[in-house]
Amino acid sequence: IYLSFSRKHEVDTLTKVHNRLIGTKGEARPSRCPDNSAFKQQKLPAWKPQLTIAAVLSCFFLTGVFCLSVGVCLIMSANSVREIQIDYSDKCSDCSKLRENSSNWNKECHCSINFMLKEDILGDVFMYYGLQNFYQNHRRYVISRSDAQLLGRNIQKSYCAPFTTYRNGTPMAPCGAIANSMFNDTIDLFYNLNSSVIQVPLLKTGNSWWTDKNVKFRNPKSYNLSSAFAGTARPPYWQKPVYLLDEEDERNNGYVNDDFIVWMRVSAFATFRNLYRRVRRIRQFADGLPAGNYTFHISYNFPVTKFKGRKHVILSTMVWSGGSNPFLGIAYVVSGTAATLTGFVITVIHLKGHQNTDLHFKNYDLIESLD
Amino acid sequence: MIWKKHFFKETCCRCGAPDTEIQNEELETRGKVKKRKKKNENKRVIISNLPFGSKKRKENPNIYYDSNKIKTTKYTILTFLPKNIYEQFHRFANVYFVVIALLNFVPVVNAFQPEVSVIPICVIMAITAIKDAWEDFRRYKLDKEINHMGCYIYSREERAYVEKCWKDVRVGDFVQLQCNETIPADILLLYSSDQNGICHLETANLDGETNLKQRQVVMGFSSQNTLFEPEFFRNTIICEMPNNDLNKFKGYMEQPNHERIGFNIESLLLRGCTIRNTEAAIGIVIYAGHETKAMLNNNGPRYKRSKIERRMNTDIFLCVGLLLVMCLVGAVGHGIWTGNFSEYPPYDVPDENGNFLSPVLAGFYMFLTMIILLQVLIPISLYVSIELVKLGQVFLIHNDIDLYDEEADLPIQCRALNITEDLGQIQYIFSDKTGTLTENKMVFRRCTVDGIEFSHQENARRLETHKELDLDDEDFAKLQHFTLPPMNIETPATYKQRTVRPLRRCQSARAHFQGHTRNRSLGRRDSNQSQVAFSSAIEKDVTPDSRLLRRVREAAFQAENLSPFMHTKTSTSFTDFFLALAICNTVLVSTATEPRQRVTVPPPIKPSGITLEKIHQIFQRLKLASLSQSFSSSQSSSDLGASFSAKSTEEHLAVLDCCDNGDNCCSRGDELQGKGSTDIGSASLDEVFKSVTNSSLPTDFCYEAESPDEAALVYAAQAYSFTLVSRTPEQVTVRLPQGTLLTFDILYTLGFDSVRKRMSVVVRHPLTKAIVVYTKGADSVIMDLLEDSSKAEISAEKRMKRIKEKTQKHLDYYARDGLRTLCIAKKVLNEDDFQKWANFRREAEAAIDNRDELLMETAQHLETKLTLLGATGIEDRLQDGVPDTIAALREAGIKIWVLTGDKQETAVNIAYSCKLLNQRDTVFTINTENKETCESLLNLTLEEVKKNYEVEKPWRRFFGIIPTSFSASEAPSPEFGLVIDGQTLNVIFQGGLEEKFLALTKHCRSVLCCRSTPLQKSMVVKLIRRQLKVMTLSIGDGANDVSMIQAADVGIGISGQEGMQAVMASDFAISRFKHLKKLLLVHGHWCYARLAKMVIYFFYKNVSYVNLLFWYQFFCGFSGSTMIDYWQMIFFNLFFTSMPPLLFGILDKDVSAETLLGLPELYKNGQNSEIYKLSTFIITMLDAFYQSLICFFVPYLTYKDSNIDVFSFGNPINTISLLTILLHQALEMKTWTLFHLVTMIGSVVFYFVFSLIYNAACVVCNPPTNPYWVMEKQLSDPIFYLLCLITPVIALLPRFFIFALRGTFGTSLILKAQQIDKLPKGQQDHEIQKLRSRKQTTSGAPVASPTSHAVSHEDTENQGLSASEVNPLRKETPEEGYYFFNKWAEEEPTATDSSAGPFSGHYLLVPSRVTTPGQDGGKLSKDNANSFNQGSHRRSVSAVTL
């Protein structure tokens, strides 16, 4: 952009000399007069928003009304959600003690928790397990995985350390801290109907994102799963290898196991829930869970006491606006109220101030409103 | 070479003469040149290249000098990368980011994938590198173009001049230059086709001066008649080392026989100049390429740091502090969090060996990690953005058509690219006077000869009409209508004619006025009249004063009747006066018909010349009578006729000219005479114009002068028929009123310099053969050099004294009228004296070492005992729109100082006429040479000012707060002006009185520093800038303003008539002073507002974005996790949110240009840094914190306890903050054009498109983070939309609320201006007027009260003397000089001379020596000077002496 002045002159002279040589008149030299274009003269047609009283007030009131109405809708829909949350981390005190000692990893521990539904839970019912104080979002934890491996590829380099290989060189499948610390309780729900116990049919699959299940997670290609994972070992905390996660369903085994996929989607907060099962709506559960007594049968494998964590099991329905969290609705209502109130305040100030200020401003407003 | 060496050795032995030292040294250097050493060598030795053929090339000492190939590029293709990177690392920010990027490679502390974290800094540096490369490439192309220009170099093989490229020119080559060729290198002129050995140059490329310069073949070198033979050139040239002084060059040439020939700058052809009027010139190359003076003068662009940038840097340090605090929080938090666990939880991942860190160490590492994580808190893109924005701003300023000067075909030039916003913060303007405030077009106005004043009324009237004619075509027609009719009874025929003709009239008028626009490059237009080389018609046409004209004619007539040129005392001074005007200068003559054909040979006197002359004289006498008649009649009958007499005289002159060529001119002359006396009024203006242009052309001379004063004087002489006909270095020819051509031999010309302040020519009178010295110079100097009257006879002495006194009186009067004064004096030398002096002079000229001092001494020796002839007053007209501009700038709160080298009276007058001082202002003048006096004076005035100021203050403040209510009855209090001269400034600087001076000036509306040197100018600027910590701007046009321009924060050069030095030193170059108004008030305001808002916005943007990450740390155990994918973070800053602020920074307009110009008060906004100061910064930071809190916690609370995953949580946050940040920008924008809308929407769309593609494109391409399908999933979730709606609303609600309050109830001027902008056109002006009038009354500026309080000098003087009684300070301040206090007040004008000028409220604190030069020495004043008293301040002329 920059050209020092005398050099510019030098060039000018050159052109002048040139012109003289080829016999053209000096007029051929273009004038240095800038273009008189709207852009260069900074006169582009422009809209200049002006915060006039009319604009401001309408803005505030419209926002207020809109937010209030949306907020009321949201709160109402959030209130329609039915949710039951049961903390079972201490309910099975034996188990939690047992699990504190990691040497007991292969000892099974079961416990059952009874609860009563006072009224039906209608619609789709989702079963979650919830963890508290489990920092899945810890930086080193979050990156301790290998997406390439989970796609069924061989990996050279990963962030899985120190959960990449065993000392003897056997690679872990899947590698990394996330996979290693996978939630491995099994929870079953039983409906106690007239002293007969009916197992509530639960769906194991379809709980993860479709893209995860079908794109992001792939088993290594081989004629069967066990051969695909040959030469690898289970992660240290696991009780069984990855190809035995779901022996009943080939399409829910290995890396594409839904529970595994759900776990691998690391949670944003230390207190979170993950979708575990969905109630299959057949027979008496066609409309959801009927009121009555229920029992959770839990095989307690996942230790939480050593990090002061807690475990929950949650039954909940869903609405269009998500779960039972009413916050968004409240936020809308509050901000709507605030906007409306502000509108009123401005109106009051305006009316009061109007009497004091001279006619000058009235003129502006009149003109503005005319516009 | 070998024989040469021997030869020199021998000579060395032979001459053990006094000057062998130089020779030895020179021989030494000679010997050493071969070894490529340069041991404190300060001489350059050049010999011809020809003896060294291609074989012996290595032996040539010249090969060690630079070749003529120029290379202004910084880089080559190979060195570009390392060099550019190295240069970029000079910027602290770059180093910071690179260090952080490197830190990321340390595994324990890394926050991101190391490879990715390098990207931002790479992008930033790449953008800068591309910019640099592009600039460099342009330079390269230019270099190439210049290097490949052709020129003729002598070749030994071909024994002829062969064409070669410029880059092949080497030191020692012989170059042949032809007419109109540009000179390729610095060349010593050895031959010119001109018979006098002169070569003409146009140096416009170098210094902008368009007049031709003469260069002389090295004196005494070779005979000019024979063609120069390079082959036989055996001389050695010894000259100084390359330096950048364009006006100095010296050296000598040693011939094989050891004779030395000195030469100086007069023989050097400088690179870049153009040869004119010379068929061919041959010279040897002395300096080539980068060693040429032109190139050494060519400094690159200047780097200045603007105020905003300085402010910004401190804020960046605040940001660094904030960053450290945040990192510390993170580190401590992580340490505590880690220490909380008795056992390692499963999510705390050990390092590769399975070891865990201790909490303290983990905390420390986390500190570093956090620095990496939060690095963006220091806005990485800010520097690059600012650079880009400033480029855009410069582009727009450069393209402003209002700042384009049609005459010069020059738009504004922005030489400094990075201080555009400083234009909006100027508090002090320091202006030069001549050429800056004034046009530097000199017009002869008055003269005094022999103690008789000639007022040149007609000329004054002519100038007025000129001024009016300049206005417009419409006005022109109106004017014509207005001026013409009363004089003549119009016949129906002429009436009809007039009605038919308006179109043609306009054209002809146009043509005429085009003629007096200054034409820079000749030959560009082909109409004859436009080829006036230097002066405009205003300057050219001088209407002679009829009284003086008569006297001149009489004198000439007398002289004729008596024996020729036996001068009597009375008659001769008139003749001498005009002769001096015509001769005593360095004006060159060329004819108008053949541009640039210099008249160097007097027109041959025809054989019949004598008879012709006789006829001519008869005619002359005849005409003289009628002429004077016609003048008196026209004068008496009507003033209007006289106003056109300029033209008629012009015609007469033309007639005179024709008479040289033929006899039949008498009749024509009569015709014209008749016209002049009676018809002139009836003749329509265009006819007159036409006849003038037609008739005067053939013999019209063009005068090319170095300074416009000179030309003005020559034109004045011409008006009295003393026409300068030709000039050569040896001779000057003048045509006398009688028509005789007198050719004077010029013996010496002692050029003008600023130390002597005068110039002289020594000529031999062709008829009397007497040697006459004509001197012309500043009155202060000349008056001291006048002949000591004691030696002369008593009567003559008395007469001389009387003339001197009278002349002085006239001079004072001229100065007060704002005229530039020059004294003309002469001296007759007898032959012996002259010879003595001439010898002395020759010695001085031959001297090498302290030649300058010697030359000065000789000049001073000659210029003594002069006889005063008279004095002239030249007007330097104010530029267009200067008062208006100054008033506007003043209203904008800018203090304007004028720093000039001119005389006090002139400066004060110009100050009044350009509204710098108001008639009602109180003006203090401080002139003293003594420290004590100066101190007490400063104290005194300060007290006085403060007294007034305190009275003013209360109600001022009152109005400052409530501008709506005021009472008009309040009397406007006077403002103060201060006039100070260079000597006093010196005293102030040396005596440590700066603080008092500053305290005083703070209260003064304007300050004038007169008679100040360039150094003092820059010292004043520096003083103000450093002590008051204000933004300063200097504006000037001449070389003497360069230091001042460089000292100020913003330097503005006016590309006027005084060359290019000021422009070269400036940051911005404009062509007219009035452009300053729009430049500051509009562009300055805009640039400041834009950039300040943009910088603030950048801080806000980065803080609010980075804080999102910080808040997340509280929920992830301070582990340095991010919920946003790193790529998206990078893109967020680099692309998604970068365009709108850039566009905002370039295009936003808070107030329209018209309103800004209408309400200069709006400028104060930038002056007080209202947009970007610490408080606004802190508020913005707080707002950023609030907004980031909202942007984080609304999504957090919404997704709390849900099964949201990290990136699904980060995605809405990212989106929300994008929307918030863009909407925030939208709130700030005052102007929405299509561009704004497109970039705004484009940014959002680009964000979504990019995110969608990026989230869908690859599953594992960016391990370990993997935001696969997150965006798509979110877009199918209604919560996402609900969040995106509500969060920006909550985040921006407070800001919007405040904006709304301000917008509806605010009373700030900017808002009012914005409201005004919205009004329809007519109403706008009305409102502006309303606001302005309100402002004006509040600021206490008097509206109008033209009461004249004229106090002439004489009066103050007398009263001052008479009042010399009580003096309490007598002992304390024994000092030369006495002081007046004349208070502006309700007194009747006491002036005897009613036209004495507007010296109403003028405190004069002047030493008597300056004001009363007419008195007998300084004795009387010395007595008076010892008294000092404080006068009563309510008296109008309270003169107090000490």
Q: DSSP string spanning B611-659?
A: HHHHHHHHHHHHHHHHHHHHHHHHHHH-HHHHHTHHHHHHHHHHHHHHH
Query: How many C-beta atoms lie closer than 10 Å to residue B1381's C-beta?
Result: 26
- Pull the structure tokens for residue B776: 């012309």
Ranges B84-93, B691-700, B940-949: which has the least confidence = B691-700
Residue A72 has pLDDT above 70, yes or no: yes
Q: Could you tell me the pTM of the whole model?
A: 0.74
Q: What pLDDT is attached to residue B1118? A: 93
- The fraction of chain B above a pLDDT of 90, given in percent, is 15
What percent of chain B is modeled with pLDDT above 70? 70
Residue B461 pLDDT > 80, yes or no?
no
Q: What is the pLDDT of residue A58?
A: 93
Contact check, Cβ <8 Å, A140/B349: yes
pLDDT at B271: 85
| pLDDT value for B840 | 86
- Asked if B146 reaches chain A (Cβ–Cβ under 8 Å), the answer is yes
> Is residue B1278 within 8 angstroms of chain A, CB to CB?
yes
Which B positions 354-383 lie with beta carbon below 8 A of chain A? 354, 369
Which of the pair, B80 or B504, is modelled with greater confidence? Answer: B80
Question: In the structure, what pLDDT confidence band is assigned to residue B789 with cuts at 50, 70 and 90?
Answer: low
B1002 in a labelled binding site = no
Tell me the three state secondary structure of residue B73.
coil
B303 pLDDT band (50/70/90 cuts)?
A: low
What does the pLDDT read at residue A364? 44
- Taking the Cβ of residue B339 and every Cβ of chain A, the question of whether any pair is shorter than 8 Å is answered with no
Q: Residue B1248 pLDDT > 90, yes or no? A: yes
Kind of pairing between the strands at B413-414 and B428-431: unpaired
Residue B240 confidence (pLDDT) above 90: no
Residue A263: closest CA among A144, A119, A367: A144
Query: What does the pLDDT look like over B630-687, one tens digit per residue?
Result: 333 333 333 333 333 334 444 444 334 433 443 333 333 333 343 333 333 333 334 4
Task: Judge residue A109's burial from the number of C-beta atoms within 10 Å of its C-beta, 0-12 exposed, 13-18 middle, 19 or more buried.
Answer: middle
Nearest C-alpha in B relative to A302: B346
What are residue A295's DSSP bridge partners?
A114, A190
Average pLDDT over residues A295-323: 89
pLDDT class of B207 with cuts at 50, 70, 90: low
Asked if the Cβ–Cβ distance from A2 to B135 is below 8 Å, we say: yes
**ipTM of the assembly?**
0.90
- Cβ contact B1234–A44 (<8 Å): yes
**A134:B1197 CB<8 A:** no
Residue B223 has a pLDDT of 56
> Does position B1256 have pLDDT exceeding 60, yes or no?
yes
pLDDT over threshold 90, residue B377: no
Does the pLDDT value for residue B1238 go beyond 90? Answer: yes
Minimal CA separation from A290 to chain B, in Å:
24
Of the residues A20, A141, A274, A346, the best mutation for testing chain B's interface (the one with the most B CB atoms within 10 Å of its CB) is: A141
3-state helix, strand, coil in chain B (%, to 5): 55, 15, 35
Lowest model confidence (mean pLDDT) among A29-38, B277-286, B1184-1193: A29-38
Query: What was the pLDDT predicted at B784?
Result: 81
Report the range of poorest mean pLDDT among A48-52, B599-603, B733-737: B599-603
Judged by average pLDDT, the poorest of A158-162, A220-224, A359-363, B163-167 is A359-363
The reported pLDDT for the residue numbered B1413 is: 36
Tell me: the pLDDT tens digits for B1400-1438?
A: 344 444 433 333 333 333 333 333 333 333 333 322 222
Q: Which residue has the tokens 């209203």?
A: B891
pLDDT band at B334 (very low <50, low <70, confident <90, very high): very high
Mean pLDDT of B745-771: 82
Please tell me which of the candidates B298, B391, B1273 has its beta carbon nearest to residue A209.
B1273
Higher pLDDT, B1142 or B1383: B1142
CB distance A346–B1206 less than 8 Å?
A: no
pLDDT for B127 beyond 60: yes
CA–CA distance, B1066 with B1052 (Å, rounded to integer): 5
Contacts of B1231 in chain A (CB under 8 A): 46-48
Contact yes or no for B934/B1373 (Cβ under 8 A): no
Q: Which residue has the higher pLDDT, B1333 or B894?
A: B894
- Average pLDDT in the A121-136 region? 92
Query: For residues B1232 and B1243, what is the distance between their CA atoms, to the nearest angstrom?
Result: 15
Give B300's pLDDT tier (boundaries 50, 70, 90). low
Parallel, antiparallel, or unpaired for β B1402-1403 and B922-926? parallel
Q: For the segment B1342-1397, what is each residue's pLDDT rounded down to a tens digit?
A: 333 333 333 333 333 333 333 333 333 333 333 333 333 333 333 333 333 333 33
pLDDT of residue B805: 87
Residues 6+ apart with CB under 8 A from B288: B65, B66, B67, B68, B169, B170, B171, B185, B186
Report yes or no: B341 at the A interface, CB cutoff 8 Å.
yes
| Residue A202 confidence (pLDDT) | 93
Q: Which residues are CB-contacts of B858 (< 8 A; sequence separation ≥ 6)?
A: B837, B840, B841, B844
Cβ–Cβ of A13/B182 closer than 8 Å?
yes
Res. B604: pLDDT tops 80 = no
Q: Cα angle at A74 between A69 and A76, to 5 degrees?
A: 95
Average pLDDT, chain B: 73
Is the pLDDT score of B328 beyond 90?
yes
Torsion sign (Cα): B186, B188, B191, B193: positive
Whether residue B1088 is predicted with pLDDT greater than 90 in this model: the reply is yes
Hey, are the CB atoms on B1304 and A51 less than 8 Å from each other? yes
Q: Give the model's confidence band at B507: pLDDT under 50 very low, under 70 low, under 90 confident, else very high.
A: very low
Strands (DSSP E) found in B186-267: 186-192, 198-202, 212-216, 236-240, 250-254, 260-264
As annotated, the active-site residues of B are 432
- B1199 has a chain A CB within 8 A of its CB: yes
Q: Which of residues 1085-1104 of B touch A (CB under 8 A)?
A: 1086
Q: Quickly count: other Cβ atoms within 10 Å of residue B1438's Cβ.
A: 20
Q: How does residue B1219 score in pLDDT terms, banded at 50, 70 and 90?
A: very high
Distance of alpha carbon A60 from the chain centroid = 31
Residue B904 has pLDDT above 70, yes or no: yes
- Highest mean pLDDT: which range of B5-14, B156-165, B1240-1249: B1240-1249
Cα separation, B185 vs B146, in Å, equals 12
The average pLDDT across B1135-1158 equals: 90
Cβ(B307)–Cβ(B1169) below 8 Å:
yes
Kindly state the average pLDDT of the residues A106-112.
83
Give the three-state DSSP class for A302.
coil
- Lowest mean pLDDT of A345-349, B403-407, B1077-1081, name the range: B403-407
With H, G, I as helix, E, B as strand and everything else as coil, classify residue B21.
helix
Position with higher pLDDT, B1241 vs B150: B1241
Hey, what are B334's tokens?
Answer: 């992580």
Q: Is B1381 helix (H, G, I), strand (E, B) or coil?
A: strand
When pLDDT is cut at 50, 70 and 90, the band that residue A28 belongs to is very low
Residue B667 has what pLDDT?
37
The pLDDT confidence band at residue B550, using thresholds 50, 70 and 90, is confident
More confident residue, B84 or B1341: B84
Q: Average the pLDDT over each of B353-367, B590-604, B952-966 and give the range with the smallest value.
A: B952-966
> Quick check: A162 and B351 CB within 8 A?
yes
List Cα–Cα distances, B1050 to B777, B849, B1209, in angstroms.
34, 39, 51
Q: Which residue in A has a C-alpha nearest to residue B350's C-alpha?
A: A162
**CB nearest A4 (choices: B300, B524, B1293):** B300
Average pLDDT over residues A277-283: 91
Q: Mean pLDDT over residues A49-76, rounded?
A: 92
User: Which tokens is B497 given?
Assistant: 């004619």
How close, in Å, is residue A240 to chain B by CA atoms?
18
> Would you state the structure tokens that stand for residue B1222, as one six-digit string?
């863009």
Q: What is the pLDDT of residue B1402?
A: 44
Angle of CA points B158, B164, B170, to nearest 5°: 95
pLDDT, tens digit (0-9, with 9 covering 90-100), for B140-188: 888 888 888 888 888 888 888 888 888 888 888 888 888 888 888 888 8
| Shortest Cα distance, chain B CAs vs residue A314, angstroms | 11
Query: Phi/psi of residue B962, each to 5°?
Result: -115, 85
Q: Could you give the angle at which helices B80-88 and B119-147 cross, rounded to 10 degrees?
A: 120
Overall average pLDDT of the B70-88 stretch: 85
Neighbours of B83 (CB within 10 A): 14
Q: Which residue has the higher pLDDT, B1424 or B55?
A: B55
pLDDT recorded at residue B23: 41
Predicted local confidence at residue A100, as pLDDT: 77
pLDDT at residue B593 greater than cutoff 90: no
